Structure 1
Amino acid sequence: MADAIREHPRHDPNAGEIPVPHGPATGNEHGHYPETTPGGATDHERAIFSHLTRPDDLYTADGVYWADLPLGKRIAFVNKVQNEEAKRELSAIGSMIKADPLSPISWYFRNAVLPGAGLGLEGYVLFSIGNLQPLFASAWPECWGKHPTECSSNWIASVTYLEVIGIMVGQMAVGVIGDWIGRRWGLIQDAAIMFVGLLMITASWGLNLNGWVICYAWSLFFYGFGVGGEYPITATSSMENAVASGKLSTRDDRLHRGRKVTTAFLMQGWGQLVNQALLIILLLILHHGDGNPPYSITTVQWIWRLSFAIPAVGTLWLVYYRAYKMPHASRQLAAAKKKSNVTGYDLTSLRLTGSIFGGRLLATAGTWFCNDVFFYGNKLFQAQFIAVISDNPNSVLTGWIWNLYNVIVSLAGYYLASLLIDNKFYGRKMMQQVGFLMCFIMFVVPAFKYDYYTSPAGIKAFQAMYFLSSFFNQFGPNSVTFLVAGEVFPTPIRASAHGFSACIGKAGALLASVLYNYIDTPTKFYVVPWFGLAGMLLTWLFLPDTTGLDLKEQERRWAYIRAGRDSDYHGIAIHPKHLSLWERIRGVGKHYNPDLDIKQQIEDMREEWASKEWRRRQREAGGDATGANDDLEHDDEWSDQVHEYFRKTTDFGKTTDGNLGTGFGQPEKAKPEKVDDGSNEKRGSSVSSAS
């Protein structure tokens, strides 16, 4: 029986929903292909399908994959594609400006600001917590000072701990929800939780200061749950939005998928910038002075409550937008589940991911852990850094201004990351390795000469290294971990894998927040650098480079894995360029074969076509003309010639009345027929005779 499109029972009108063909296509009922050239596909088939199987942004005119080219030709090909794309985009921008000078701004708002709005609000609120602590310490030293007298020191510490734990719980839980119920549900749920959480934080109160701290801490935990969910949901929805359900990936997705996700993620940096700028403005307005202490309790109350009330308005709008303007956020997940015949959570995919992609999980989770020790550690001892380099370290305003400088430097790193993350010669893996290495250097150098770099003679160099560590953290692991934690995994468990990786990452933040309470500043510089070195090594060994890899191709490979036939896949998803060193050592790429893959791609497309064609004819046979062609809506790249080829070369098997009209039944087999090389004429009938 054919593996290409599996055999199904004839349709019984009383049997309920008709099962449809699924699974990777490999041949006819004898396990052999029609007569082909030695490459696996006929010249005629290559001519028809070349624009689908060999797009010109990945392959040369001779059909050679860019990563298979010699180095010199590879450089020339990649530069040619990138230069042509840059010219095309600049031309498009010029046309937009001619038609409407403000249209590029509205385009950026739709494609970057809106997808990343949740992360922007998250960045605003989370970093507001750290920014407000010096203000709280000035107004309530009996609680937030070094030696609290009216508040429990454990509850003061729990403000940070509960916030991070809430994020971790949200990342895991919403990752599973996003794969189980759907991306759209997760998006709406997160926005609603963050809105309620902001109301709780703004209105938090207590009978005494310690009661207020407890209320404040648990409100942050609740808000943190919604924030945690933003990580897997925003990453997966931004990534999948570029690839329409059931359709081939577009050229834009292949060339700019990383940029699309990263520009959404960098809204986190804008959230930090807006928060810090707003706090400075509120302090100058409400303090009625130069921003220096002392600060009245009334002023502090107004500042911190207003700083949380303002983003609540934006979050309420986000709830509306996601509920009414994002109806198709779960489309690709639904298509993947339909293809695998799964209705709930795909436990099979989860199990297979753990066994086959365990190295990738180690890479995404482990590097995120290392990065968050840096990222949150940087924030946690920022106050000590400012105390060293500032002329007026006791002023909250002075600290906030230095924070603002640091955020601006970080934003530059975010934007440079989005610019180069899709570059095939730099891309994800190299960017993360270089970022970790630079963070390691920027911390290990002052660690062994701390006294010199904190003295007047070395303070400028110390300042430069601190800002460079912020820059390379964004232009490196902080941006890349967010992208690859979803990109290297299949659609059915993408949000779960991303949520798990992010949760392990936040454990790094939790480690930093606990550890830094017990060691002094010089010791911190001895501890932190080694996480950068560990992150670089994990990236080098376990992380595959998905730069330029078509996500649709990864889904093809996953179909073979899920069918238990991973060794039968020969496409570019197992090209050595797109595998980790660990996977190459294990021999994952040994089945890569471009010639065999062409034939496979054609038969995989035939199966998709046959499945949809059969359902269309079933509806026509039942007299349902409404939407009869909906199932056969392919990507525009599926030319009439492709459809005609499949019509003439696909055998649907025996029907109830011997024709494909009324009474057309579920095909026993849909197999390729032999065709003349170079013509569209079949050697056999499109419908087999009754046996």
Structure 2
Amino acid sequence: MSKGQLQVFNSLDLARTQWYHFKAIAIAGMGFFTDAYDLFCISLVAKLLGRLYYTRPDADTPGTLPINVSAAVYGVALFGTMGGQLFFGWLGDHMGRKKVYGMTLILMIFTSIASGISFGGRTAKGVLTTLCFFRFWLGFGVGGEYPLSATIMSEYSNTKTRGTFIAAVFAMQGLGILAGGIVALIVSAAFENKFKPPPFKLDPVGSMPQESDYIWRIVLMFGAVPAVLTYYWRMQMPETARYTALVARNPRQAAEDMSKILKVHLDAEEERFEEIVRSERHQFGLFSSEFAHRYGIRLLGTTSTWFLLDIAFYSQNLFQKDLFSSVGWIPPANEMNAIREVYMIARAQTLIALCGTVPGYWFTVAFIDVIGRWWIQMMGFFFMTIFMFAIAFPYDHWKKEHNRIGFIIMYGLTFFFANFGPNATTFVVPAEIFPARLRSTCHGISAASGKAGAIVGALGFVYASQEKDPIRRHEGYPAGIGKKNSLIVLGIINFLGMLCTFLIPEPMGKSLEELAGEVDFEDADYEVRAGA
């Protein structure tokens, strides 16, 4: 028991798992379902965009997105996400979690629809410019979900299962990735059955009926559906007690809100609250030396591990279609029509999501409050390093037809241990180890560092993975280091993530106030080390 803890916080920490926990997971989780769908569905239709807008009338092979256009299409949403994480993370600590939570969802709804109706006629420049514009603002809304969803779930949870609940919210990202593949499969199959276009090499014009342009638009616009379904319930959630009491300085309202949720009577304890807020240690700011002394190493740990993780994770996720093609799992573009190519890419990515991505998330949900955040993150980075090197060094071996199944298994395992590992824990930990009045801001900074890594990974991999081809270099394409060497670099990055994991603490089993040092606990001797 704390020496200064409010009753409302103790009640939340000790509360048994109830219906409101699952309701909060569903409401916050659907935001992440939408986030993942919106961010990753672009990789399903990128090759279709190249065929539609960059195929010359006299071409013998389908067109592809130029390297700079491809980088923009992939990267612009990530830039928006990084900005949204910083802005909405800061705003969540100043206006409240609930108020800002509605803003992000509205922005995501409108920009998802706008992305699908990108205008500009049939010209590549017009359509792709407007697409990039709307996807930037879509990413901006997506960015706000990270600090707000994590903070809200952490502040609603009990101590015993807090990690499980936050990880369950993030696990909806895997279902969003899976849903993107399924939607693309259904849409492409429906269009193929209706129009039955011939292979590209038989009829370059007929291989892309005008209706093909609808496919990518429908896939992108579908991202608005789960967001619309979630909005009403999100607006019905009360503000978290920890924000209301510790930041808004209204312990009476916090007690009233949580009394309704927990169905027990809670005293506002205003005198005890005044003792807590009078403490000088709560008055320092984000850029103060006191913050650097108390939380600097933690913030360095959460930002560096998330940065390194996302370099590898987004490189793998956004460009797996290119790797599938290079090992022959997806046929060459000139052997199939545009609609069939969307179907084949969606099938491959759905298989990876179903077998590796989704199970990894839910393994984290099952074990995070058993093993602990620190060990799961260390284990994940370790196995990501092992499997990435196992793919990279014998890369030519995996390109042989009879070895393709082995390649898919190895590649799927890297996703499994990314998600049963740092991709989940880097989201969970920043929501637990910082004080309430800076919790959303610090999570936003950590998440934005991750998106900086995603930008490095996504855009860097576009250029680095280019094979050394004198002809293409003469045409203006960069001479990269090739896919094999790029994968080796990603393995090294995963190893660095293991080293940076030593900077983060283990929050399992401790109250948020204990972790942040906001109250005096008998056993709050908390060192920044694994297992502390």
TM-score tier (shorter): 0.7 to 0.9
Structure 1 position 278 matched with structure 2 position 240 = no
**CA separation of 1:308 and 1:518: change in aligned 2, threshold 3 A:** closer
Equivalent position of 1:245 in the other structure: none
**CA separation of 1:108 and 1:484: change in aligned 2, threshold 3 A:** closer
Equivalent position of 2:237 in the other structure: 326
Match of 2:26 among 113, 122, 136: 113
What is the SS of the residue equivalent to 2:146? helix
Equivalent position of 2:343 in the other structure: 397
Structure 1 position 515 matched with structure 2 position 460 = yes
Match of 1:135 among 48, 73, 80: 48
Equivalent position of 1:261 in the other structure: 166
Structure 1 position 241 matched with structure 2 position 156 = yes
Equivalent position of 1:488 in the other structure: 433
Equivalent position of 2:505 in the other structure: 544
Structure 1 position 299 matched with structure 2 position 211 = yes
Match of 1:315 among 213, 220, 227: 227
TM, length-normalised to structure 1: 0.62
In structure 1, how many angstroms separate the alpha carbons of the residues matched to 2:364 and 2:322?
Answer: 28
**CA separation of 1:111 and 1:348: change in aligned 2, threshold 3 A:** closer
Equivalent position of 2:469 in the other structure: none
**Structure 2: 5+ residue stretches without partners:** 201-206, 250-275, 334-340, 465-481
In structure 1, how many angstroms separate the alpha carbons of the residues matched to 2:419 and 2:98?
Answer: 28
Match of 2:76 among 154, 157, 162: 162
What is the SS of the residue equivalent to 1:571? coil
Equivalent position of 2:305 in the other structure: 367
**CA apart distance, 1:427:** 1.2
What is the SS of the residue equivalent to 1:528? helix
In structure 2, how many angstroms separate the alpha carbons of the residues matched to 1:346 and 1:518?
Answer: 46
Match of 1:232 among 117, 142, 147: 147
Per-residue CA deviation, residues 486-528 of structure 1 (Å, 9 max, x unaligned), is: 2111111011111001111111111112221222211112210
Q: How does 1:667-682 map to 2 (within 5 A)?
A: none
Match of 2:366 among 405, 412, 419: 419
**CA apart distance, 1:475:** 0.3
Equivalent position of 1:406 in the other structure: 352
In structure 2, how many angstroms separate the alpha carbons of the residues matched to 1:474 and 1:353?
Answer: 31
- Which protein has greater RCO, CA pairs closer than 8 Å, 6+ apart? 2
What is the SS of the residue equivalent to 1:237? helix
**CA apart distance, 1:155:** 4.0
Structure 1 position 205 matched with structure 2 position 150 = no
What is the SS of the residue equivalent to 2:28? coil
In structure 1, how many angstroms separate the alpha carbons of the residues matched to 2:493 and 2:112?
Answer: 33
What is the SS of the residue equivalent to 2:508? coil
**CA apart distance, 1:443:** 0.9
**CA separation of 1:255 and 1:151: change in aligned 2, threshold 3 A:** closer
In structure 2, how many angstroms separate the alpha carbons of the residues matched to 1:452 and 1:349?
Answer: 51
> Residue type of the partner of 2:23?
R
Per-residue CA deviation, residues 39-76 of structure 1 (Å, 9 max, x unaligned), is: xxxxxxxxxx9xx89x9x9xxxxxxxxxxxxxxxxxxx
Equivalent position of 1:380 in the other structure: 318
Aligned pairs, how many? 461
**CA apart distance, 1:276:** 1.0
What is the SS of the residue equivalent to 2:421? helix
Equivalent position of 1:340 in the other structure: 277
**CA apart distance, 1:161:** 2.1
**CA apart distance, 1:302:** 1.9
> Aligned-pair RMSD on alpha carbons?
3.3
**Structure 1: 5+ residue stretches without partners:** 1-22, 26-48, 58-84, 93-105, 243-252, 560-568, 590-691
> Residue type of the partner of 1:340?
V
**CA apart distance, 1:167:** 0.4
**CA separation of 1:151 and 1:406: change in aligned 2, threshold 3 A:** closer
**CA separation of 1:287 and 1:461: change in aligned 2, threshold 3 A:** closer
> Residue type of the partner of 1:376?
Y
Larger Rg: 1
User: Residues 363 and 542 of structure 1 are in contact (CA less than 8 Å); yes or no, is this contact kept in structure 2?
Assistant: yes
User: Residues 170 and 229 of structure 1 are in contact (CA less than 8 Å); yes or no, is this contact kept in structure 2?
Assistant: yes
**CA apart distance, 1:273:** 1.1
In structure 1, how many angstroms separate the alpha carbons of the residues matched to 2:500 and 2:61?
Answer: 40
Equivalent position of 1:124 in the other structure: 37
In structure 1, how many angstroms separate the alpha carbons of the residues matched to 2:120 and 2:46?
Answer: 18
**CA apart distance, 1:200:** 1.7
**CA apart distance, 1:461:** 3.0
User: Residues 151 and 210 of structure 1 are in contact (CA less than 8 Å); yes or no, is this contact kept in structure 2?
Assistant: no
**CA separation of 1:572 and 1:580: change in aligned 2, threshold 3 A:** same
Equivalent position of 1:181 in the other structure: 95
In structure 1, how many angstroms separate the alpha carbons of the residues matched to 2:197 and 2:499?
Answer: 45
**CA apart distance, 1:341:** 6.8
**CA apart distance, 1:115:** 2.0
**CA apart distance, 1:128:** 0.8
**CA apart distance, 1:119:** 0.8
Greater shift after overlay, 130-139 or 407-416?
Answer: 130-139
Per-residue CA deviation, residues 208-243 of structure 1 (Å, 9 max, x unaligned), is: 22111100001000111000010000000011122x
**CA separation of 1:402 and 1:108: change in aligned 2, threshold 3 A:** farther
Equivalent position of 1:573 in the other structure: 524
In structure 2, how many angstroms separate the alpha carbons of the residues matched to 1:235 and 1:228?
Answer: 12
Equivalent position of 2:479 in the other structure: none
In structure 2, how many angstroms separate the alpha carbons of the residues matched to 1:442 and 1:118?
Answer: 31
Equivalent position of 1:216 in the other structure: 131
**CA separation of 1:190 and 1:346: change in aligned 2, threshold 3 A:** farther
**CA apart distance, 1:385:** 2.4
Equivalent position of 2:471 in the other structure: none
In structure 1, how many angstroms separate the alpha carbons of the residues matched to 2:197 and 2:382?
Answer: 38
- Report sequence identity in percent: 28
**CA separation of 1:376 and 1:391: change in aligned 2, threshold 3 A:** closer
Match of 1:534 among 496, 503, 513: 496
In structure 2, how many angstroms separate the alpha carbons of the residues matched to 1:550 and 1:513?
Answer: 37
**CA separation of 1:444 and 1:313: change in aligned 2, threshold 3 A:** closer
User: Residues 507 and 515 of structure 2 are in contact (CA less than 8 Å); yes or no, is this contact kept in structure 1?
Assistant: no
**CA apart distance, 1:350:** 5.6
Equivalent position of 2:85 in the other structure: 171
In structure 1, how many angstroms separate the alpha carbons of the residues matched to 2:3 and 2:435?
Answer: 16
> Residue type of the partner of 1:264?
V
> Residue type of the partner of 1:321?
W
In structure 2, how many angstroms separate the alpha carbons of the residues matched to 1:310 and 1:537?
Answer: 40
In structure 2, how many angstroms separate the alpha carbons of the residues matched to 1:193 and 1:471?
Answer: 31
What is the SS of the residue equivalent to 2:237? coil
Equivalent position of 1:673 in the other structure: none
In structure 2, how many angstroms separate the alpha carbons of the residues matched to 1:171 and 1:162?
Answer: 14
> Residue type of the partner of 1:490?
P
User: Residues 516 and 524 of structure 1 are in contact (CA less than 8 Å); yes or no, is this contact kept in structure 2?
Assistant: yes
In structure 1, how many angstroms separate the alpha carbons of the residues matched to 2:493 and 2:36?
Answer: 23
**CA apart distance, 1:455:** 2.7
In structure 2, how many angstroms separate the alpha carbons of the residues matched to 1:478 and 1:186?
Answer: 25
**CA apart distance, 1:156:** 4.1
